[in-house]
Chains A and B, each alone.
Chain A
C-alpha cells in the first residue's frame, strides 16, 4: 500500500472514477426491495392483533383493492393500455362468488376464488379481442361503456343476481383451530390472496411475457419488429388484468358478505384508475399506495366537506399529481434518493 502510494506522489491526482450513469431501478432495487417487503409483511401479520375490528376491516379492504390494482397496473402501468372499466371485472368476480355461494348449498368458499378469477379472465379475453384493436381515447370510451352498462345488466337478471336488492351471504367463519376473531380470519385470508397475487404478478412481469409487455408499452413498432405479436399480447394483458380484478372481487364478497349493483358503479372504475395513477403507475408499490387512496380518500373527502366530497376528491388528486407527478411511489423513491449515503 505505502509503496504504491509513494510511487504515485509525483503524479497528478488520479482522475475520479468514470462517472456512473444512474441505475435504472432506483434505490428500492435488488435486496433492499425485498427487505422492505419482508418488513411490510411482518407488520401486516402483526397489525390485526393491535387494531380494533373496524380498522382490521379497513386494512382488509385495502388489500382487496390492492389485488384489483395489481391487475390494473399490469394493463395500464406495464402494457401501456387504458381501462375505465376495471370495476366491471371486479364486479364480475364479486357476483360470480355471490351467485355460486347463494345457489349451491355447501359450496366451499375457497373454490369460488379460482372460479371467479377464471370467469373474469375469460370475459376479459372476450372483451379484449375487439377492445385491443382500439387505442387511447377509443379504448377508454369502450371500457367506460362496459362499466356503465354493468349495473342495469345486473338488475335485469333478477333471479340470478337478486336485482337491485342484491345478494346477502354468510361470511367465511374462522375455524376453531385458528383461534382468530372473524375479522382477523377474513384479514388473513385476504392477506394470503394478496401475497399470492403479488408473487404471480411479479413473476409474470419478470418473464419473457413481461418483457414483451414493456416493449409494447415503450415502442409498439419496435416491439413488433422484435417479433412480439401486438394483438395477442394486448389481449392477454387485458385478460390478466381482468383475472386479478375478478379474484379481488371474490375476496370482496367474502369480506363484505353482500353484493348489489350499487356497490360497483362507474365511480369505482374511475377511482381505481385514479388511485393507481396517484399510487404510481408501473411501480412495485403503486398498487398498494393506490389501494390506500381508493379506500380512504373518498371518505376523507366526505369528512372535509360533506356537501361536495367530489370537489375535495378531485382537488386531492390534483394536489398529489402536482407534488408527485410520477405518483406516490415515485415520490418515495425521490425522497429516499435524497438521503445521503455512505460509500
Chain B
C-alpha cells in the first residue's frame, strides 16, 4: 500500500509561511496533478513532502507516519523527488548520477538492469553515460533527473514541472513514459505541471493551489471541465 495521505500540512521558509493547511489523498498507483499560478506554493508542497524543507502536519505513505523525518530517511521510505531545477550533480558523469539514484537500494541487484531500463526510456542518455552531467542540454538533464529518480524504484514519485525545457514532442513522450511507469510499477505520482492539458491527460485527480491553499479539487475530468480553471490555467474559454 502506498497511498499518500496529507493532512493539515503547513510549511514555509523561515518566518514566511507559504502553505496553509494542505490536505489531500492520492490512492495507491494513482497520478495526481497539482496546478496553480506562479508562486502558489506547488514547488513548496513537493519540497515539504520530500523533506527538503521542514513542515508541520501529518504525512502518511502506505500507512507509515512520515512527519518530521529527514530527507534521507524519506528517500529510504521510497520517496523520489525530481526537483525544480533538476538537482543534477554537474561534475559527475551521467552514469554516476544514475547510480546515485539507486543509493538507497541495498545491494547491487538489478541496478544494472534498471540502468538498461532507463536507457530504454531515454536512449540519449545511453550515449552520454561517461560524460559530465553538466555538459548535457537542459532537456537531457531533465531526462537524467527523471531517470535518476526512477533508479530508486520509488513508491512515491514527485515531479516538479517535468516538461520544463523539453520540446513539445519530447514532453508528450515523457508523460507517456510516466504513465507507463505508473501502470507497470504501481508507483504513486504527484506531478506539478504548467502544461495542464498534459498533466490532466494522465492524472486521475487534480488539485488547484492558490496562495498556499487548495482552492479546487476533483477528478481530472471535472477540473478540465471547470470553466474557471479553464480560463485561469488552461488558457482557453469554454
Contact = CB atoms under 8 A, between A and B. Distances in A.
Given A24-B132, A227-B103, A214 B72 contact: no
Contact of B135 (A24, A208, A215, A228): A24
Given A208-B103, A215-B92, A215-B100, A24 B130 contact: yes
Interface string A139-179: 00000000000000000000000000000000000000000
B87 A221 contact: yes
Interface residues of A, number: 22
Interface of B is mostly: loop
A227 B131 contact: no
Nearest to A21: B135
A23 B104 CA distance: 28
Interface in A1-40: 21-25
A23 B75 CA distance: 31
Given A23-B130, A211-B99, A228 B72 contact: yes
A227 B104 contact: yes
Given A22-B135, A225-B51, A211 B91 contact: no
B93 A24 contact: yes
Contacts of A24: 91-93, 130-132, 135
A225 B131 contact: no
Nearest to B101: A226
Nearest to B86: A222
B71 A224 contact: yes
A302 to B, nearest CB: 38
A44 B155 CA distance: 53
| Among B52, B70, B92: residue with most chain A CB under 10 A | B92
Contact of B75 (A22, A218, A225): A225
B52 A221 contact: yes
A214 B131 contact: no
Interface of A is mostly: helix
A214 B130 CA distance: 16
A219 interface: yes
B172 interface: no
B194 interface: no
A25 to B, nearest CB: 8
Interface in B105-164: 128, 130-132, 135-136, 148, 152
Contacts of A222: 83, 87-89
B151 to A, nearest CB: 9
Given A21-B131, A24-B132, A214-B89, A221 B103 contact: no
A316 to B, nearest CB: 28
B135 A225 contact: no
A226 B99 CA distance: 10
| Among A218, A226, A229: residue with most chain B CB under 10 A | A226
Interface residues of B, number: 31
Interface in A210-265: 211-212, 214-215, 218-219, 221-230
A11 to B, nearest CB: 25
Contacts of B91: 24, 214, 218
A230 B72 CA distance: 8
Given A22-B135, A227-B103, A221 B71 contact: yes
Interface in A54-83: none
A226 B75 contact: yes
Contacts of B131: 21-24
A57 B229 CA distance: 79
A23 to B, nearest CB: 6
B50 A225 contact: yes
B96 interface: yes
Nearest to B99: A211
Interface of B: 50-52, 70-72, 75-76, 81, 83, 87-93, 96, 99-101, 103-104, 128, 130-132, 135-136, 148, 152
Closest 5 CB pairs of A and B: A227-B75, A222-B87, A24-B132, A227-B104, A224-B71
Interface of A: 21-25, 208, 211-212, 214-215, 218-219, 221-230
Given A24-B131, A225-B72, 14 more contacts: A21-B136, A22-B132, A22-B135, A24-B91, A24-B135, A211-B103, A215-B103, A218-B92, A219-B89, A221-B87, A225-B81, A226-B101, A227-B72, A228-B72
